[in-house]
Structure formats: structure tokens, C-alpha cells
């Protein structure tokens, strides 16, 4: 009898060891008001619309019962939109369902995005009770005039109150989102923002330079020439570059190391969810507008909340784009995503994954970019130089095979963790 029990125990342990790592991303496409720079899939909604959406998400999570047995979840990320608009009861229901359906590692990183002014201490305690152990807070600027211009719903003082509440609730792993090269922003105002934020000693900072996206208020203003002059004139390219260099310098002085093009962290506080994405760990998107990469197949969900809810209720497919990735596509992603990390990519990992030497595939490109001082080699690693990071989009596009015009798409809220 003892031998049988021992064998059963060993078999269970072996099965657990065989499970593949998985990341979960849950998209909450609700916000109080669309920000002027935002092109993410999100919009305002009524309490009933939000409740119906959460019910549909729970039904979708339950549909992965069979798939879940093959994986152990290492990270969970709730992005949006503004996930902190969820009620404590909705947060509890979502996580109860996740824990029932999926095997979640006891040390999993569980992140929830939030906006200043959208949480009270009771909601933060509900998040913590549900297992959330990392917060990503959308500040963007410590200047109230800049926040107003961005279309944000909060002031810097409201952010400080939210920050105080997160401390009171016991959160020890918090990210703050910052933006530079904003209309009307000066070196002085940006340095003041950095000083105020660093005085709070956050564990992580995501710092992005503004990108004007079609379909946004800012893009419309730009097209009409409103950002070329006056109080909201865009900073020059030289000023934008100087802001980026100031970010690197000030954050390094504060003990935060740059581990990805736009992300900085204290030791041990790097965002594991994003690192998993750069390393092409399989991920499952849940909710309207989310993306997934499972077993070499990429697929996206419909980007319409109402249609998503209806299809879930009727048991119909919510998938729109499906693509089985070719070996070439996987090589592109290995380089395109991996080189975003400051440590770059490993030649050995490329060889083990594809059975080919990276020089046999990308030799000419690697030599060219090294000669241009955009790439550097150190032992087994290939990584961007400081100069290469400044023009990273152009450098990374070099790794798309001839004839390819489609840039690798990054799922919403994976790179730019802004909340609306």
C-alpha cells in the first residue's frame, strides 16, 4: 500500500512538473473618460454594462477548463481601460473563478492597473484579499496643468492620496506610469515631475515618450496645427531626447535599473508579466480586445463589448484573427521582442529554440547593425547599444524577413501600461 501511494505521489509531482508556464491577461475596457492621447480599446460604460461584461468574462474563463490542465499560471495582469473601476464584489468573483479553473503558482505576480481617485481603502483591501500583489498606477505627470491637458480625471494631489492608501493597504510592489514630450512640457516641468515621483520611492517606473496615434484627440489637434504653437506646443526632438536622457540619469541615481527600453525597477521588482512577454512565454487573453499566444498560434478577440457579451452568452466564437506562426515569424519575434530587454537575446537560446545558429539566419544584419554601433555583442548576448535604444523601432524592424511589412503587434497594455 505504501509503495502504491509513493508511486501515485511521484506521478502527481511529475505531471505538475510537466505543466507549461502561462500568463493571463484580462482586459477591462471601461474608463471614466477617454484621455486625449489614448488609442486603446476602452470607453465609458454604465454599471449594468460593466456587470454584464464581468459576467461574460467569468463565463469565458470557465470555458478554459480543459486547456488549463496543461498549464501553471505564473503571472496575471488586469489592464484596460481602468480595471480599478471594478467593484470589490466583481474583483472577488473574477479571481475566485480564475483560482477554480487554473492552477496558479503560489508565488505568481498578480498586477492590477488603477487610476488615482478610483479606489478607496475598502477596494484596495479587496484587491489584496483576491491575491493582487502589484499595482500599476497611471500618474503620467505631477503637473496639474499637464494632467488637465492630457484629459486625465485626477490631480497630482489626488494621486498622492491614492498612493497613501496603497501604503495603508500594505502594497509593496507598485509601478508609476510617466510620460514625457507632452504638449507644453518643459525640461523644468518634467524634472520636477521626476523629483516628486522619486521622492515617493516607487518600486517600478514605466517612462514613455508621447506617441501621437491616429484616432486620438491629440492627433486631431496635431493635424489642425494646434500643437505647433502656443502653450501646448510639442517639445522639439532635441528636448524630447534630453528628457529621455534625464530619465535614465535620475532613475539610475535613485537605484532603479533600466531593464527594458521603457521600464525601470529596483532590484527584484521587474515586471515579470512583461518580461514573460518579451521572452515569448505563452499567454492567454481574456475579454474583448485581448490577444493570446498559445501553442504557436496567435489569436485576437473581437473589439466590441456588446458583441463580445452576446457571443459569450450564445456560446459562439469570439475570435477574429487567427495565425499559426511560421518558424520565420517566431524567429522575428524572438529578436524583435527579446532585443527590447537591456540584456538582449542569447545566441544559445536561439540555437536551442530553432536548431539554427543566429548568425546563419541574421548574420548580415547583425554585422551591419554592429558596424553602425546600434548593436553590441558580449559573450553569448546580443543587445542594443545606448544609441540603438534611441532608434529601437528602426533597428528592430531590420529583423523582419524580406518581403514582410507587418510589424509584430504588441498586445494592448503589455508595453505601455497606461490606464485611461
E strand map for 215-279 = 257-260, 263-265
> For residue 229, what pLDDT is reported?
83
Q: How far is CA 385 from CA 195, 369, 373, in A?
A: 27, 10, 7
- Would the pLDDT of 239 be above 70? yes
- Please give the residue that has the higher pLDDT: either 169 or 407: 169
When pLDDT is averaged across residues 382-394 and rounded to a whole number, the result is 94
Residue 407 pLDDT greater than 50, yes or no = no
Confidence of residue 17 (pLDDT cuts 50, 70, 90): low
Closest CA to 384 of 314, 336, 328, 316: 336
How far is residue 375's CA from residue 95's CA, in Å, rounded to a whole number?
43
**Rounded Cα–Cα distance for residues 341 and 302 (Å):** 30
Dist. CA 145–CA 47, nearest whole Å: 30
For the stretch 245-280, pLDDT in tens is: 999 999 999 999 999 999 999 999 999 999 999 999
Distance CA 177, CA 247 (A): 13
C-alpha cell at 178: 510617466
CATH code of the domain made up of 331-408:
1.10.10
Q: Where are the alpha helices (DSSP H) in 279-326?
A: 305-314
Strand positions, DSSP E, 82-201: 104-114, 134-140, 174-180
Percent of the chain with pLDDT over 90: 80
Please name the residue that has the C-alpha cell 524572438.
334
Question: Cα separations (Å) of 154 from 34, 42, 272, 388, 420?
Answer: 13, 18, 28, 36, 11
Overall pTM > 0.75: yes
The kind and range of the H/E element at 160 are helix 156-168
Q: What CATH number has the domain spanning 21-278? A: 3.20.20.70
Task: Give how far Cα 129 sits from Cα of 79, 88, 110, 126, 241, Å.
Answer: 19, 10, 12, 5, 42
What is the spatial distance between Cα 179 and Cα 216, in angstroms, rounded to a whole number? 16
Q: Which residues pair with 285 in a beta bridge?
A: 25
pLDDT tens digits for range 343-365: 999 999 999 999 999 999 999 99
pLDDT in tens, 295-336: 999 999 999 999 999 999 999 999 998 999 999 999 999 999
- Chain segment 222-234, per-residue pLDDT in tens: 888 888 888 889 9
Q: Say if residues 82 and 30 touch (Cβ distance below 8 Å).
A: yes
The percent of residues in the chain predicted with pLDDT above 70, rounded, is 91
> Confidence class of residue 215 from pLDDT cuts 50, 70 and 90?
confident
What does the pLDDT average to over 165-169? 97
Banded model confidence at residue 43, pLDDT cuts 50, 70, 90: confident
Write down the pLDDT at residue 270.
Answer: 98
Average pLDDT, rounded, for the chain: 90
pLDDT digits (tens, 9 = 90+) for 53-105: 999 999 999 999 999 999 999 999 999 889 999 999 999 999 999 999 999 99
DSSP β-ladder status, 204-209 and 263-265:
antiparallel
Domains of the chain: which residue ranges?
A: 21-278, 331-408
- Does 134 score more than 80 pLDDT? yes
Amino acid at each position: 500500500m505504501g509503495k502504491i501511494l509513493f508511486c501515485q505521489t511521484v506521478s502527481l509531482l511529475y505531471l505538475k512538473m510537466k505543466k507549461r508556464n502561462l500568463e493571463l491577461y484580462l482586459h477591462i475596457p471601461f474608463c471614466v473618460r477617454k484621455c486625449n492621447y489614448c488609442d486603446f480599446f476602452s470607453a465609458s460604460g454604465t454599471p449594468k454594462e460593466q456587470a454584464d461584461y464581468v459576467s461574460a468574462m467569468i463565463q469565458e474563463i470557465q470555458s478554459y477548463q480543459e486547456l488549463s490542465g496543461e498549464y501553471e499560471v505564473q503571472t496575471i495582469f488586469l489592464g484596460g481601460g481602468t480595471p480599478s473601476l471594478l467593484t470589490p464584489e466583481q474583483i472577488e468573483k473574477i479571481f475566485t473563478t480564475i483560482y477554480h479553473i487554473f492552477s496558479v503558482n503560489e508565488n505568481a505576480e498578480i498586477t492590477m492597473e488603477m487610476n488615482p481617485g478610483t479606489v478607496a481603502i475598502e477596494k484596495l483591501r479587496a484587491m489584496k484579499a483576491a491575491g493582487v500583489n502589484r499595482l500599476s498606477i497611471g500618474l503620467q505627470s505631477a503637473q496639474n496643468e499637464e494632467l488637465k491637458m492630457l484629459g486625465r480625471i485626477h490631480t497630482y494631489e489626488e494621486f498622492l492620496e491614492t498612493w497613501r492608501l496603497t501604503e495603508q493597504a500594505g502594497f509593496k510592489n507598485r509601478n508609476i506610469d510617466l510620460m514625457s514630450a507632452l504638449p507644453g512640457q518643459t525640461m523644468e516641468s518634467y524634472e520636477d515631475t521626476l523629483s516628486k515621483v522619486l521622492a515617493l520611492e516607487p518600486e517600478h517606473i514605466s517612462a514613455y515618450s508621447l506617441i501621437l496615434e491616429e484616432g486620438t484627440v491629440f492627433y486631431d489637434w496635431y493635424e489642425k496645427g494646434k500643437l505647433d504653437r502656443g502653450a501646448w506646443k510639442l517639445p522639439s526632438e532635441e528636448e524630447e531626447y534630453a528628457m529621455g536622457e534625464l530619465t535614465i540619469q535620475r532613475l539610475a541615481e535613485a537605484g532603479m535599473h533600466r531593464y527594458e527600453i521603457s521600464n525601470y525597477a529596483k532590484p527584484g521588482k521587474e515586471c515579470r508579466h512583461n518580461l514573460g512577454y518579451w521572452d515569448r512565454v505563452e499567454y492567454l487573453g481574456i475579454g474583448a480586445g485581448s490577444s493570446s499566444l498559445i501553442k504557436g498560434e496567435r489569436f485576437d478577440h473581437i473589439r466590441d463589448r456588446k458583441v463580445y457579451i452576446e457571443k459569450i452568452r450564445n456560446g459562439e466564437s469570439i475570435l477574429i484573427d487567427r495565425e499559426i506562426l511560421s518558424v520565420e515569424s517566431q524567429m522575428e519575434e524572438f529578436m524583435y521582442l527579446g532585443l527590447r530587454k537591456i540584456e538582449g537575446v542569447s545566441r544559445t537560446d536561439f540555437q536551442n529554440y530553432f536548431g539554427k545558429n543566429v548568425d546563419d539566419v541574421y548574420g548580415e544584419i547583425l554585422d551591419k547593425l554592429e558596424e553602425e554601433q546600434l548593436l553590441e555583442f558580449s559573450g553569448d548576448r546580443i543587445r542594443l547599444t545606448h544609441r540603438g535604444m534611441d532608434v529601437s523601432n528602426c533597428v528592430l524592424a531590420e529583423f523582419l524577413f524580406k518581403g514582410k511589412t507587418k510589424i509584430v503587434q504588441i498586445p494592448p497594455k503589455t508595453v505601455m501600461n497606461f490606464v485611461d
